[in-house]
Structure 1
Amino acid sequence: MKMTFRWFGEGNDTVPLSYIKQIPGTDGIVWSLHDVAAGEEWPMERILEVKSQAEQAGLHIDVVESVNVHEDIKLGLPSRERYVENYKRTIEKLGSVGVKVICYNFMPIFDWLRTDLHKALEDGSTALFYESSRIADADPFRLVEEINKNSSLTMPGWEPERLQHLTKLFEAYQGVTEEHLWENLRYFLNEIIPVAERSGIRMAIHPDDPPWSVFGLPRIMTCQENFRRFLELYDSPNNGITLCSGSLGANPANDIISMIHEFGDRIPFAHIRNVRVYENGDFIETSHRTQDGNVDIAGIVRAYHEIGFTGYARPDHGRHIWDEQCRPGYGLYDRGLGIMYLWGLWDANELHSGKKAISK
């Protein structure tokens, strides 16, 4: 397992690269060019700028999250061809500078959804929260405004400019079914995976967050059966999954440990985090510790160890603790604690299996 830490770039992140370097066992950043609009080709000079910044701090840039997919591709419009070509050229550029994994998603309009960015937990910390009843009655336009108002930093997937296009996007998705989305995803994979193969990059689709339909929009990356179908769309080692225990864990029916054992060789990237799910369908993100949520983090790390996982991992969303002023879900303190918990579990499995406690 190779540990990484998500970083949003200079001027757009409260965590300096020098701090990330000090987290034991953390060798690289998970990054993106967040100001480049979805569908546009990434400029090489900007890619090299991030590479230089990371390398000066002693970190690698092996994992990108995300190269966003333009809505015209998800909708299957004729205009998708231009955006697919831009995507291919971006893959080639990233491969040329040593990127190994590209995480992306295929969620219509919204990359993720929460109703409260700072919901209080019993210990006084706060975390991202999803309230089912609010979603059922919510106006998505007001929700986007509220999300942005409560964050001083750009929230990927909730950029202010989306407000200008939400009405047209919702109109465009009228009548788009899950089967339409599957077919458009097949087209996308047929176009990009051969380029990824030539570029030495493993594409890794992220689960839908949360893993069910919201606002009547179709969602398909939601469960083990659908991931099985996804991998069959294009059977290649370069067509893989970002297995996110938090996104999938919001639905208690998802057996994440089973997914690790079934899809292990097609998981180049793992997001490992916990979530507490309530009987009414609400959920809140917790510390990474197994006992604090409903996701068996200890069992998940054990499963990765059992399959000999050598891919990349990161501690996903964290709580806001010790009065840290940070991007919601992406502070230093709780994610740093999460990394040490994950390494502790991993090292315990190493000892139990007779290997060295610390390995690289």
Structure 2
Amino acid sequence: MNDNRREFLKKSTTLAALSVVGLNACSKTGNQETENSTAVRTAGVNSKTKIAEWPIKIGENMPRLTVGVSNDASVAEMRQLKQIGVDYVLMGGPPIPWTEESLRKIINRFKAEGLTVINMMIGGHPHTIYGRKGRDEEIKQIQDSLRAAGTVGLPVVEYNFYAHRLMEGYYREDTRGGAGNTSFDYEKGRNLPTDPKLGTPQTAEMLWANLTYFLKAVIPVAEKAGVRMALHPNDPPIPVSHGHAQIMATFKDWQRLIQIVDSPANGMTYDCGVTRETGEDPLEVLRYLGSRDRINHIHYRNVTVEKPYVKYSEVFFDEGQVNMFAVMQEIFGLNYKFGIYPEHPREISYDKEHAGGIKNQYPGGGGYAAQAYNVAYTKAMMQAVVSLKDAAVSA
């Protein structure tokens, strides 16, 4: 290759990087001005910048692209993920109490196909959520499960603390080319009666007391085991579901959570989509939790919000109000090293027509092909951030 052509290609690569940042800087949706100024400021690209060499490698202290899968997934399903560049997976764990044997059986199956289990969801504690008789036995089982997780090297255990989740508010909505969005409207379920099988409706005060009791019992065990717990915020982030309060539905709630037990083991699943659903700036919330080392898992998705908390649509990653590039830059800036899950794929025709259709709990939700789109988009964002970061260092 002659020198002129080499110089031309070098300049073209730099201009391509600049155009990515420039396009982001032109967007003015919602609170995007704050997000985009961050993208421009931290990129560190100029006409003399040396762009990093490819292929881009994700280092040890960087986020791990992670995809959810069933813990009894077939070898074919595992290989489908491996083929699209996924090396880390998350899943629901076995029934509590977890044991070293039950966890190793699952982890080793995935390891044989080149997949590392980075996160398991723990459940089976309804008495704890409702503050009922029997919660101490559930808590003991979770404590034993955390010890087992630490023994086998499982770094993150995720959990929910819903008294009830309002799935009735979700509906399918058409988007580009006849694909499906998952939309939510609180009015569809606002006045639904309380389910008598769930018992006494839980007030916010009751749930906070129950959560505090739980955290003070399990976080010291998790900390000693070397395991981090990640509580996912309420999604949908509405005030009441079937008469039950939702105590993880606002930024103030998330701030309160991490103060109950002051430990990195007492953290959250940060979700940039849910954060936008509440009307908050995803970057500000990310910085608040991340600077305190309280983000133990990340969900990566985009939304368009009509009215915070109560009416919004989960959309393709490139269509929503969240600046996904700026969020990714901030994540890398925090030196976060756990999972980042590109979740809630959209419904597309290909998935409906192949491999037995779509198996998704959300109306407008997608399958494998749509998840491959999410993975590719997320990996591109990750590589772009690393590339620009390396370029800034070498400039």
Q: Distance in 2 between matches of 1:86 and 1:106?
A: 16
The aligned residue for residue 93 of structure 2 is 33
Per-residue CA deviation, residues 287-335 of structure 1 (Å, 9 max, x unaligned), is 122xx11222222112112222222111011112243123224622222
Q: Which residue of 333, 336, 342 maps to 1:309?
A: 336
| Structure 1 contact 92–199 (Cα < 8 Å) conserved | yes
Q: What is the deviation of 1:114?
A: 5.1
Q: Are residues 1:208 and 2:234 paired?
A: yes
The aligned residue for residue 257 of structure 1 is 283
Q: Report the 3-state secondary structure (helix = DSSP H, G, I; strand = E; otherwise coil) of the residue aligned with 1:221.
A: coil
User: How do 1:89-168 residues align onto structure 2 when only pairs under 5 Å count?
Assistant: 89-110=144-165, 113=167, 115-116=169-170, 118-138=172-192, 166-168=195-197
Q: What is the deviation of 1:52?
A: 2.2
- 227-236 or 306-315: which moved more? 306-315
The aligned residue for residue 230 of structure 1 is 257
Q: Report the 3-state secondary structure (helix = DSSP H, G, I; strand = E; otherwise coil) of the residue aligned with 1:180.
A: helix
| Structure 2 contact 164–242 (Cα < 8 Å) conserved | no
Aligned length: 318
Q: Which amino acid aligns with 1:82?
A: E
Question: For the pair shown, which has the larger CA radius of gyration, 1 or 2?
Answer: 2
Q: What is the deviation of 1:178?
A: 1.0
Q: Report the 3-state secondary structure (helix = DSSP H, G, I; strand = E; otherwise coil) of the residue aligned with 1:283.
A: strand
The aligned residue for residue 248 of structure 2 is 221
Q: Report the 3-state secondary structure (helix = DSSP H, G, I; strand = E; otherwise coil) of the residue aligned with 2:283.
A: helix
Cα distance, 1:132–1:222 mapped onto 2, change above 3 Å: closer
Q: Distance in 1 between matches of 2:205 and 2:252?
A: 15
Q: Distance in 1 between matches of 2:191 and 2:252?
A: 30
Q: Report the 3-state secondary structure (helix = DSSP H, G, I; strand = E; otherwise coil) of the residue aligned with 2:178.
A: coil
Q: Report the 3-state secondary structure (helix = DSSP H, G, I; strand = E; otherwise coil) of the residue aligned with 1:208.
A: coil
Cα distance, 1:15–1:220 mapped onto 2, change above 3 Å: farther
| Structure 1 contact 205–242 (Cα < 8 Å) conserved | yes
Q: What is the deviation of 1:138?
A: 4.3
The aligned residue for residue 305 of structure 2 is 277
Q: Which runs of 5+ in 1 are unaligned?
A: 141-165
| Structure 2 contact 87–114 (Cα < 8 Å) conserved | yes
Q: Report the 3-state secondary structure (helix = DSSP H, G, I; strand = E; otherwise coil) of the residue aligned with 1:344.
A: helix
Give the CA RMSD over aligned residues: 2.5
The aligned residue for residue 387 of structure 2 is 351
More helix per residue? 2
The aligned residue for residue 185 of structure 1 is 211
Q: Are residues 1:240 and 2:267 paired?
A: yes
Q: Which residue of 116, 130, 138 maps to 1:75?
A: 130
The aligned residue for residue 21 of structure 1 is 82
Q: Which runs of 5+ in 2 are unaligned?
A: 1-62, 352-356
Q: Report the 3-state secondary structure (helix = DSSP H, G, I; strand = E; otherwise coil) of the residue aligned with 2:70.
A: coil
The aligned residue for residue 113 of structure 2 is 57
Q: Are residues 1:340 and 2:376 paired?
A: yes
Cα distance, 1:355–1:199 mapped onto 2, change above 3 Å: farther
Q: Structure 2 length normalisation: TM-score?
A: 0.74
Q: Distance in 1 between matches of 2:131 and 2:388?
A: 50
User: Percent identity among equivalent residues?
Assistant: 24
Higher relative CO (Cα under 8 Å, sequence separation at least 6) belongs to 2
The aligned residue for residue 36 of structure 2 is none
Q: What is the deviation of 1:139?
A: 5.9
Q: Are residues 1:3 and 2:86 paired?
A: no
Per-residue CA deviation, residues 259-303 of structure 1 (Å, 9 max, x unaligned), is 1111112112100001122249432221122xx112222221121
Q: Report the 3-state secondary structure (helix = DSSP H, G, I; strand = E; otherwise coil) of the residue aligned with 1:109.
A: coil
Q: Structure 1 length normalisation: TM-score?
A: 0.81
Q: What is the deviation of 1:224?
A: 2.1
Q: What is the deviation of 1:42?
A: 3.2
Q: Distance in 2 between matches of 1:178 and 1:5?
A: 32
Q: What is the deviation of 1:192?
A: 0.5
Per-residue CA deviation, residues 214-259 of structure 1 (Å, 9 max, x unaligned), is 22311111222221111110001111111012233222x2222111
The aligned residue for residue 345 of structure 2 is 318
| Structure 2 contact 158–232 (Cα < 8 Å) conserved | yes
